[in-house]
């Protein structure tokens, strides 16, 4: 989950809500620049964090009893295996994108070394089964990673003040994309989307308690918290 400390308390955005926001961003990508396996790329972008459900998995609390931000979490092989198995039952191409994402997020983690080597061994077989090639997979993943990065910046409230530009990531074209805040909208340069402006939204919950005794209490508070719909205007100018 994504955790922001605000004057009202802990603002919580679940991993799945973040993934849905990434999917909304992906869905707006310029049609002429969309990867050839478009629907699978869009689904993978939306579902790339679906395996982590805060109502089922942990750890959710720090030793001090506060919520655990996603940046504090470690490699979870069981969760990764479950995600890959779920993907393989739907689309080998999606599984390839998820494998890329696991490598991107945990490539420097010694605990993930053996599992990443395992994924690398089956890559050629999966590429053949999916009737694709490395270039096609790489291009689709670059879009997924861009949308993931942009969604994370938004969910973490990393919106630079005074119209200062902040890099998002590189898209499938290899270009470096930046954004800045102007009045009540986010401006992306260069503009990679189909329409000149669009709206996205995501759900957040705010918990007033600073500490929780256990994960059961935290989950109950999260389930009972009021849902706030955050709406973002993304524009070319």
**What's the number of domains the chain is made of?**
1
Q: What is the pLDDT of residue 191?
A: 97
Q: In whole angstroms, what is the distance from residue 165 CA to residue 163 CA? A: 6
| Residue 72: C-alpha distances to residues 7, 62, 66, 88, 157 (Å) | 22, 9, 12, 28, 18
Q: Considering the chain, what is the average pLDDT of its residues?
A: 94
Give the tens place of pLDDT for each residue, 90-115: 999 999 999 999 999 999 999 999 99
Rounded mean pLDDT of 209-236? 95
Q: What is the pLDDT of residue 188?
A: 97
Rounded mean pLDDT of 61-68? 93
| Residue 124: C-alpha distances to residues 87, 92, 132, 147 (Å) | 17, 11, 10, 26
CB 146 within 8 A of CB 170: yes
| Banded pLDDT at 58 (limits 50, 70, 90) | confident
Written as six digits, the tokens of 123 are: 């890559």
- How many CA within 13 A on the CB side of residue 228? 13
Q: What is the pLDDT of residue 42?
A: 98
Kindly compute the dihedral angle of the four CA atoms of residues 103, 109, 114, 115, in this order, to the nearest 10 degrees. -40
Measured from the Cβ of residue 123, the count of other Cβ atoms closer than 10 Å reads 16
Give the tens place of pLDDT for each residue, 164-189: 999 999 999 889 999 999 988 999 99
- Comparing 206 with 54, which gets the higher pLDDT? 206
Q: What is the residue-wise DSSP string for 30-57?
A: -GGGS-SSHHHHHHHHHHTTTT--TTT-
Q: What is the residue-wise DSSP string for 150-163?
A: HHHHHHTT---STT
Domain that holds residue 53: 2-235
3-state secondary structure (DSSP) of residue 79: helix
CB 15 within 8 A of CB 3: no
Q: Which residue has the tokens 């003040």?
A: 161
Measured in degrees and rounded to the nearest 5, phi and psi for residue 161 equal -80, 170
Question: Could you tell me where the beta strands, DSSP code E, fall in 34-165?
Answer: none
Identify the sign of the CA torsion 126, 131, 133, 138: negative
Q: What is the pLDDT of residue 161?
A: 83
Question: Could you tell me where the beta strands, DSSP code E, fall in the chain?
Answer: 2-6, 9-13, 166-170, 176-182, 185-189, 197-207, 227-235
Written as six digits, the tokens of 120 are: 């690398």
């Amino acid at each position: 989950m994504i955790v922001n400390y605000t004057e009202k308390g802990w603002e919580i955005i679940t991993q799945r809500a973040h993934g849905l926001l990434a999917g909304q961003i992906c869905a707006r990508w310029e049609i002429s620049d969309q990867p050839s396996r478009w629907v699978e790329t869009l689904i993978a972008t939306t579902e790339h964090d679906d395996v982590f459900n805060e109502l089922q998995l942990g750890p959710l609390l720090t030793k001090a009893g506060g919520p655990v931000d996603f940046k504090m979490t470690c490699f979870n092989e069981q969760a990764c295996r479950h995600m890959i198995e779920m993907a393989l039952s739907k689309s080998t191409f999606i599984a390839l994108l998820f494998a890329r994402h696991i490598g991107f997020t945990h490539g420097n983690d010694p605990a993930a070394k053996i599992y990443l080597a395992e994924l690398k061994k089956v890559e050629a077989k999966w590429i053949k089964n999916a009737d694709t090639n490395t270039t096609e997979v790489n291009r689709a993943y670059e879009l997924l990673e861009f949308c993931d990065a942009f969604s994370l910046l938004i969910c973490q409230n990393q919106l630079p003040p005074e119209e200062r530009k902040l890099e998002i990531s590189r898209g499938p074209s290899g270009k470096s994309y930046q954004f800045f805040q102007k009045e009540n909208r986010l401006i992306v340069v260069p503009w990679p989307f189909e329409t000149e402006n669009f709206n996205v939204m995501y759900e957040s919950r705010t918990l007033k308690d600073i500490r929780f005794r256990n994960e059961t209490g935290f989950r109950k508070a999260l389930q009972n918290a009021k849902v706030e719909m955050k709406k973002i205007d993304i524009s070319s100018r």
